[in-house]
Amino acid sequence: MNKKGKAWSLARHRKDCHQGLTEIRKGLYCGSEMNILSAMKTGRKLDVLVPLNSLEGSIWDYGFRGEIMYYPIRDYGALPNQVLNELVTLIIDRIHLGKTVGVFCLGGHGRIGYVIAAVLGKMGITDPIAFLRGNYCRKAVESNEQVEQIAFFLDKPELTKMYCEMASYSLSLNMLGHYGNFSIPLHRSEVQLKCCNCQFQHKNHCYLLGASVQDDEKACFDFLEKE
């Protein structure tokens, strides 16, 4: 198997960093879109769905008959503060009514981490980012923009100092055209990891992103160490 095929084979067999749909607080569930669909296939009942990326009409084929609150967020992005406040209020209100709420995005990391952190902060969690990364997924909340808005929304400026990183990724032009410039707060132990050390990088090309990279670029969250 060539290096490209090996990299994608390894990617397919990596375990998810979060294992299925997670009840992070009583009545509040979070996960990826696939986690939500898989849970409903096995009979998990949810009263309210909050998709942050998109939702196909096939959701009804899974037996869902509840409420859908659709608040789309661009990848790595955040909502206007007023809209975030509206969404957080709706989620907390539904939980207080005894309903089960499932919040999800495509991968279950950045957008969901951002919204759930805002909810947890309003519910009294002092450091909702640390809480999420410790109890749900270490990748929760992916961008400086998300961290900064959580800090502003909760009036906790210390979160910005704790979780924002100054260095940004210099992705290839086609990736920048899709995502724009952004910075991802890495865990302190991961800051020194480089693309040159990653299984997915070969001759300055990342087979995972399908993009050109430089050897000295900081590794992303999908870093897989070379054997």
Q: Is the pLDDT of residue 57 over 60?
A: yes
> Is 207 inside any structural domain?
yes
Asked whether residue 94 falls in the same domain as residue 186, the answer is no
Q: Which of 113, 141, 163 lies at the terminal end of a domain, its last residue?
A: 163
Asked whether residue 114 falls in the same domain as residue 187, the answer is no
Asked whether residue 130 falls in the same domain as residue 216, the answer is no
> Is 218 inside any structural domain?
yes
Tens digits of per-residue pLDDT, 68-93?
Answer: 999 999 988 999 999 999 999 999 99
Asked whether residue 34 falls in the same domain as residue 128, the answer is yes
What is the total count of domains within the chain? 2
pTM above 0.75, yes or no: no
> Is 4 inside any structural domain?
no
What residue has token string 């979160």?
159
Asked whether residue 138 falls in the same domain as residue 181, the answer is no
Asked whether residue 126 falls in the same domain as residue 219, the answer is no
- pLDDT-derived band at 180 (thresholds 50, 70, 90) equals very low
Tens digits of per-residue pLDDT, 116-147?
Answer: 999 999 999 999 999 999 999 988 999 999 99
> Is 77 inside any structural domain?
yes
> Is 61 inside any structural domain?
yes
pLDDT at 206: 77
Among 173, 181, 179, which Cα is nearest to 211's? 173
Q: Which of 129, 163, 197 lies at the terminal end of a domain, its last residue?
A: 163
Asked whether residue 143 falls in the same domain as residue 181, the answer is no
- pLDDT-derived band at 31 (thresholds 50, 70, 90) equals very high
- Phi, psi of 56, deg, nearest 5: -80, 155
pLDDT at 225: 64
pLDDT at 223: 62
Asked whether residue 149 falls in the same domain as residue 192, the answer is no
Q: Is the pLDDT of residue 12 over 60?
A: no
- pLDDT-derived band at 178 (thresholds 50, 70, 90) equals very low
pLDDT at 28: 96
Give the structural domain span for 69: 22-163
Is the model more confident about 203 or about 108? 108
DSSP the chain: --HHHHHHHHHHHSPPSS-SSEEEETTEEEEEHHHHHHHHHTT---SEEEESS---GGGGGGT--SEE------TT----HHHHHHHHHHHHHHHHTT--EEEEESSSSHHHHHHHHHHHHHTT-SSHHHHHHHHT-TT-S-SHHHHHHHHHHTT-THHHHHH--S------HHHHHHH-S------GGGTT-BGGGBTTEETTEETTTTEE--TTSBP-TT--B--
- pLDDT-derived band at 42 (thresholds 50, 70, 90) equals confident
pLDDT at 212: 78
